[in-house]
Chain A
Amino acid sequence: MTHDPDIIPAEPGTLTRFRRMLMADKFALAAVIFLTIVVLMAILGPMLLDASAQRQNLRGRNAPPFDLDQGWLMILGADALGRPLLSRIVVAAQNTIMVAAGAVVFSALTGTLLGLLAGYSGPRTSQVILRMADVIMSFPSLLLAVIVLYVLGPSVVNLIIVLAITRIPVYLRTTRAEVLEIRERMFVQAAQVMGASRWRIAMRHILPVVFPTLMTIATLDFAFVMLAESALSFLGIGIQPPDITWGLMISQGRQYLTTAWWLSFWPGLAIILTTLSLNLLSNWLRIALDPTQRWRLEMKGRRS
């Protein structure tokens, strides 16, 4: 390490740094790879495998997995109508990820924004926002979903909106509680003294501190939303066949659970792995974004 102490050394770019830190955490790396595959499945899956996912094959009803006699698509077995589970999982990824990601992103964005507003504005705005959140929270979310979807009709977009609205208060309340604490911190006052605008203080000083907490909630919520979506499908107001989601696949396989476990098992595994990957990734992100923790990753990267 020879450098001139009078010059600010050039830092490696943000992208290189994050790549190095990702390499240092093998679990996070595996999570990123898995999530990339899921996203690719969601984008390309329906184009490639839609036909096979819909083709019924009564001779292969509830065909067991790991049997290559009926072709490689049947490796995970087939469902009650003989449709290959592999292609159905791939095709279902699109709807599942769209609903889950859409609902989580929408509720996290809205909730965070409203939470910042409630925490950082006058008492009146704050009261209005909080009472709105109370109303949403006190109303049973499933009941709300049933009413809205019954009136508007089940569709992916409506489903996203309903699931998002019921989850907004979680982000809103967390953000507001943290903002109330952080805005009294000295560094926020220091920024005020420099003349920083409210927007700048909220975005540059408060949000980065709240962000890791929100990320953790969001990843947990991802799994919750996937299962809520399947509950709605089960009630007949969510996504309806012939459209498929992982949640719907689980509930369809439920009646064969004793005779053909694989019907529910594979889509269940897909949900678990996706959630697990997101958790690992958010855990890594929390460390990577925190300057006081970051050395753990950077040290490891240097050693290898």
Chain B
Amino acid sequence: MTDHLLEIRNLSVEFHTAAGTVHAVRDVSFHLDRGETLAILGESGSGKSVSASAIMNLIDMPPGRITSGQVLFGGRDLLHLSDEARRDINGSQIAMIFQDPLSHLNPVYDVGWQIAETMIVHGTPRAKANSEALRLVTRVGIPNPEGALRKYPHEFSGGQRQRLMIAMALAMKPDLLIADEPTTALDVTVQAEVLSLLHELQQETGMGVLIITHDLGVVAEIADRVVVMNAGEIVEAGITREVYHNATHPYTRKLIGAAPGKGRMHQPGAEAEPVLQVRDVVKDYAGFRALDGVSFDLMAGQTLAVVGESGSGKSTLARILLRLDEANSGTALWKGRDLFTMPPSELFKIRRDLQMVFQDPTQSLNPRMSVYQLISEAWAIHPDILPRAQWKARVAQLLQQVGLRPDMANRYPHQFSGGQRQRIAIARALALEPKLIVCDEAVSALDVSVQAQVIALLDDLRKTMGIAFIFIAHDLPVVRDFADHVMVMQKGRVVELGTVQQVFDAPQQPYTQALLAAGLDPDPDVQTQRREARLALAGA
């Protein structure tokens, strides 16, 4: 039993907050061997990151307090080491990479210096550290490694930054690498590449990898074993395939069931007529072409999914359609009238028909307004919709429609969870009785199980109220169960446009195929096939 690389025994962590004591981690035990990848899977608030922080001694104490347990690393209990001994282990034997590499790289030093610094701190001579840094940067696949060492973090893309973080983490050849949501902020194709890199490096060095994620796909792609956490406790643990196929705990089953991309696809009828006809939209930002001749039709009461990676212009498209930005050329006919050339007075009336739900409800809801104020603002701006006397009744009705309780109306946004906030944002959009709702990554910031609920709500609204949706996402599986048509965008251009079945079952364009292949399936068996297909595609 003692030859595990890392063993956590009965770890419990509490936090003392204004609202009382929070048991973030309760009696958690797991272990990790050399050359093995263990995934800790859980939604926000499950305690998965706190567990990892305990290993790295990153918990702020107070307010945090480790109440019980042991963290055995190579037979030594990390919780009872002196600070100095801990520092010796951190970075050299245990390394960590984070979700957002930009905030963990120092912006005022070039990356070569930062990678070498890790080694110098642990006693490597500078000349050797520099040559080692070059080797690492070459290994993690950064183009032009010599030049890259003298560049600063902001000069790299998100995927490259994560590669640099990995290079830095590997500098001291650690025995254990902890990766906290390493690919969550990355595009799907980049995510697949980074995970492959991690896997290769593990094969080379034989280190143990502890990966913390909320994404079943990531688990299926990389993990040998998985630990599922919920509300600070481990609810299930085992070999990845076993857990996926024979989940015993209801929470695990719920999580697996909530993974998108398994339901029946929509079969859009041909008889619908277009409400929005977009033709040849072009948008330039100071010499950079964000949108390059985008054209599509949107049918009444149907959903068009716009899928693309960062920089594809999908969010720009949303902003232009809602006139938050002006297009350089092109037309967008809404019921025969061009949105782009409309005078302000007409635009004001049309705003009622076109609404938007934003990515992050924490930011799109004014924190100083109560739910009632947020929703009723629509009628304050458009007084002809509803007389003031009926506001209360209508707010209550709308809240019920999106699955909230009317007695929540006097609360403020911070008193709700992420999923509830997005429901409030949807209720606000509905208050104007729109014909079209543009959802800009409306579910990307939400947990998987909440995602499924919000998508179900949106689909229900589409059916019952005949609202058309433009649903922007970076992730293909999310749109599979919800969209009628799918438009794939890359670098401001429409790459592929077709019904959901065409795009998913018979993608015509290489980019769409690559995007589909890069998507991670929660089923480990399917994912293994997919990985092979992807590698074949990359090799071709």
Contact = CB atoms under 8 A, between A and B. Distances in A.
Interface stretch (B23-31, B299-307, B377-385, B458-466): B377-385
B396 A8 contact: yes
Given A8-B372, A8-B407, A292-B414, A194 B366 contact: no
Contact of A291 (B354, B360, B368): B368
B73 interface: no
Contacts of A61: none
A205 B407 contact: no
B388 to A, nearest CB: 14
A174 to B, nearest CB: 18
Interface stretch (A124-132, A158-166, A185-193): A185-193
Nearest to A197: B381
B405 interface: yes
A26 interface: no
A8 B412 CA distance: 14
A67 interface: no
Contacts of A187: 363-367
B109 interface: no
A144 B27 CA distance: 70
Contacts of B363: 185-187
Contacts of B377: 191, 194, 196, 204
B379 to A, nearest CB: 10
A197 B380 CA distance: 11
Interface string A4-16: 1111110100000
Contacts of B392: 8
Contact residue range for chain A?
20 to 34
B137 interface: no
B455 interface: no
A291 B367 contact: yes
Interface residues of B, number: 39
Contacts of B247: none
A194 B406 contact: no
Interface in B333-366: 347-348, 351-352, 354-356, 358-360, 363-366
Contacts of A209: 368
Contacts of A194: 351, 355, 377-378, 381-382, 428, 432
A8 B410 contact: yes
Given A7-B396, A8-B392, A209-B368, A193 B407 contact: no
B351 A195 contact: yes
Nearest to A211: B368
B231 interface: no
Nearest to B425: A190
B432 A9 contact: no
A8 B381 contact: no
Contacts of A186: 358-360, 363-364
B395 interface: yes
A205 B368 CA distance: 8
Interface string A199-234: 010001100110000000000000000000000000
Nearest to B382: A195
A59 interface: no
A193 B347 CA distance: 10
B400 interface: yes
A192 B323 CA distance: 9
B405 to A, nearest CB: 5
Contact of A193 (B351, B367, B410): B351
B324 interface: yes
Contacts of A4: 407
Contacts of B347: 195
B358 A190 contact: yes
B409 interface: yes
Interface in B394-438: 395-396, 400, 405-407, 409-410, 412, 414, 425, 428, 432
A290 interface: yes
B160 interface: no
A189 B352 contact: no
Nearest to A290: B368
Given A193-B322, A195-B382, A292 B367 contact: yes
Contacts of A193: 322, 324, 351, 354-356
Contact of B381 (A9, A185, A196): A196
B358 A189 contact: yes
A3 interface: yes
A245 B352 CA distance: 57
A205 B370 CA distance: 13
Nearest to A6: B406
A6 B364 CA distance: 26
A122 to B, nearest CB: 14
Contacts of A204: 377
Contacts of A7: 396, 406-407
A302 B181 CA distance: 42
Nearest to B410: A11
B392 to A, nearest CB: 5
Contacts of B370: 291
Interface in A276-304: 289-292
Given A4-B407, A8-B372, A8-B407, A195 B348 contact: yes
Interface string B287-312: 00000000000000000000000000
Given A194-B381, A200-B381, A3 B407 contact: yes
Q: Considering the complex of A and B, which 9 residue pairs feature the smallest CB-CB distances, nearest first?
A: A195-B351, A186-B363, A291-B412, A186-B364, A187-B366, A8-B409, A5-B405, A193-B356, A190-B364
Interface of A: 3-9, 11, 185-187, 189-197, 200, 204-205, 208-209, 289-292
Given A5-B405, A190-B428, A195-B348, 13 more contacts: A5-B407, A6-B396, A9-B407, A11-B410, A187-B364, A190-B356, A190-B364, A192-B324, A193-B324, A194-B351, A194-B382, A291-B368, A291-B414
Interface of B: 322, 324, 347-348, 351-352, 354-356, 358-360, 363-368, 370, 372, 377-378, 380-382, 392, 395-396, 400, 405-407, 409-410, 412, 414, 425, 428, 432
15 contacts: A6-B396, A7-B396, A8-B392, A186-B360, A187-B367, A190-B358, A193-B356, A194-B355, A194-B378, A194-B382, A197-B381, A291-B370, A291-B414, A292-B412, A292-B414
